[in-house]
Structure 1
Amino acid sequence: MWRWLHPYAKPEVVYHLLGRWLPWVTLGAVATLSIGLIWGLVFAPADYQQGDSYRIIFVHVPTAMLSMSLYLALAIAAFIGRVWQLKMADWALAAIAPVGMVYTFISLFTGAVWGKPMWGTWWEWDARLTSQLILLFLYIGVLALYHAFSDNRTGAKAAGILAMVGVINIPIIRYSVEWWNSLHQGATLTVFERPPMADSMLYPLLICLLAFALLAAALVMQRMRNEILRQELRRPWVKAQFAAELTEANNGQKGQA
């Protein structure tokens, strides 16, 4: 198995592989995001209790769920980087953390906007909200540690340790509404039970979940390509890549002229 995976530990191979997949993932993200948001925000029926204010669920729920999923991916990359000393896993920290941080912030912001008409306040030190805020601080801490050292390996090691330690917050977020008295409602989507909502609300929500997942994947892939170029800037293959792209751009300009 290691022989099969070994080529994908090479930065040049990963860079070109991500480049081939990126346009398709981006196209899928744009298409599903357009369908899901238009369906959910325009055509889905209003909730019988919350009215139209519930529609923020089509952004809040996907970003909240993916903020945890991205942190798990971050912790896995950190574990691989520490155990097998793979530099590509270390670089994945820099690619995943900013996307997860933005998703976490969006989930907190949309939750506050949703909470104002429902709870009568923008913020409560509720167990779910507080643990989600801690997740945001963990993302910020991972990024800060990654860039705090002049030596990339040292920064990646420190950031990876924080990422692995912080993973304990994920089950706290997930089960906070069950372990403590909480204003926050229970899980909207579960694996083993059908959500108690109409299909006209459920289907656009599932599409939005897929859309935000594809969007996160596209952003991580682009950031990973950028990080590879930053780390490998003096390598011959990077110089050859820049030369090829410059030649292609010049040929395109000549063709238009």
Structure 2
Amino acid sequence: MTESRHPAEGRNRPGPAGTSSAGTKVLGLVTIAGLVTLVLFAFVFSPADTDLGETVRIMYVHVPSAIVTYLAFALTAVGSAVYLKNRSEFWDLLAWSSAEIGVLFCGLMLVTGMLWGRPTWGTYWVWDARLTSTAVMFLLYVGYLALRRVPGEGEVVARRAAVVGLGAVLIVPIVHKSVDWWRSLHQEATTLGQLDPEIDGLQYFTLFLGMAAFGCLFVWLVMHRFRVAYLARQVESSGLQAAIAERRAEAVGDGSAAESRQTSTSEGVSP
């Protein structure tokens, strides 16, 4: 671990010295094991559904992707709120990292939803309340990431992004409840306690396994993205400090040269 200065907090706090650690390596192995097990249960052990047939297997990716997307954007909102309160670099980078990974899972949710819709509804896309609101959510957070890339002073960019990240989370409950508020081809929103009691036990297990595996994958990706963002910011800060030091050295050198020329001139005109 290295020590980094957080101006907003006025004290030294430890930061990552690399993109991985013992903890991330262990979590990575657990994630790989979980994903491999998920593939086996989703495509080998879990039976086909009586109504959806083999397409039910898409559920083991689609539903966990949706849940992780909601969690990611909620974490972005939490990080944004805390940053606006205490200007902590940690929470700013956490919000940014969570949003990036959330966009990936949101895209996966859209793609798997379209693949599920083709055999179920007869088309990949309809302007359905759930699909449309999910697409809006995806574009909204892509815009958030684009805002983070707008050139400007670091603290100003972070503050603007935090405001957007805090407000954008309002789309999450709208997406989740869209099937209840408007007419939709998508099935109604359910909670874990409202799932069909007649669903096969292995299907239940595989679904929860997918949630656990995708949850581990999300945490692992966020940890790595956070470390990369932190190190990139440190490099940027070091480069700026080096440029300032170089400019100061040039200024000192120019001043010394001017003083030397002035001295030579004075000696040349002395009687």
Aligned to 1:143: 145
Task: Please give the alpha-carbon distance, in whole angstroms, between the structure 1 residues aligned to 2:155 and 2:57.
Answer: 44
Is the aligned partner of 1:102 residue 2:104?
A: yes
The 5 Å alignment of 1:45-124 reads 45-124=47-126
Q: Do the aligned residues in 2 keep the contact of 1:145 with 1:156 (CA within 8 Å)? A: no
Is the aligned partner of 1:152 residue 2:136?
A: no
Aligned to 2:45: 43
Q: Residues 215 and 168 (structure 1 numbering): CA distance in 2 closer, same or farther, change over 3 Å?
A: same
Report the 3-state secondary structure (helix = DSSP H, G, I; strand = E; otherwise coil) of the residue aligned with 2:193. coil
Aligned to 2:6: none
Moved over 6 A (4+): none
Q: Residues 98 and 87 (structure 1 numbering): CA distance in 2 closer, same or farther, change over 3 Å?
A: same
For structure 2, list consecutive stretches of 5 or more residues without a partner in the other structure.
Answer: 1-8, 239-271
Aligned to 2:193: 192
Question: Comparing both chains, which one has the higher relative contact order based on Cα–Cα distances under 8 Å and sequence gaps of 6 or more?
Answer: 1
For structure 1, list consecutive stretches of 5 or more residues without a partner in the other structure.
Answer: 1-6, 236-257
Percent sequence identity over aligned pairs:
31
Normalised by the length of structure 2, the TM-score is 0.78
Normalised by the length of structure 1, the TM-score is 0.82
Q: Do the aligned residues in 2 keep the contact of 1:74 with 1:97 (CA within 8 Å)? A: yes
**What is the deviation of 1:95?**
1.3
In the alignment, residue 171 of structure 2 is paired with which amino acid?
N
Q: Which has the larger displacement, 191-200 or 178-187? A: 191-200
Task: Please give the alpha-carbon distance, in whole angstroms, between the structure 2 residues aligned to 1:33 and 1:119.
Answer: 29
Select the residue among 127, 133, 136 that pairs with 2:135.
133
Q: Residues 10 and 176 (structure 1 numbering): CA distance in 2 closer, same or farther, change over 3 Å?
A: farther
**What is the deviation of 1:14?**
5.2
**What is the deviation of 1:47?**
0.8
Task: Please give the alpha-carbon distance, in whole angstroms, between the structure 2 residues aligned to 1:10 and 1:99.
Answer: 28
Report the 3-state secondary structure (helix = DSSP H, G, I; strand = E; otherwise coil) of the residue aligned with 2:112. helix
**What is the deviation of 1:220?**
0.6
Q: Do the aligned residues in 1 keep the contact of 2:81 with 2:162 (CA within 8 Å)? A: yes
Task: Please give the alpha-carbon distance, in whole angstroms, between the structure 2 residues aligned to 1:131 and 1:225.
Answer: 32
Report the 3-state secondary structure (helix = DSSP H, G, I; strand = E; otherwise coil) of the residue aligned with 1:192. helix
The aligned length equals: 227
Select the residue among 23, 27, 32 that pairs with 1:30.
32
Report the 3-state secondary structure (helix = DSSP H, G, I; strand = E; otherwise coil) of the residue aligned with 1:227. helix
Q: Do the aligned residues in 1 keep the contact of 2:83 with 2:89 (CA within 8 Å)? A: yes
Aligned to 1:255: none
**What is the deviation of 1:29?**
0.9
Q: Residues 37 and 158 (structure 1 numbering): CA distance in 2 closer, same or farther, change over 3 Å?
A: same
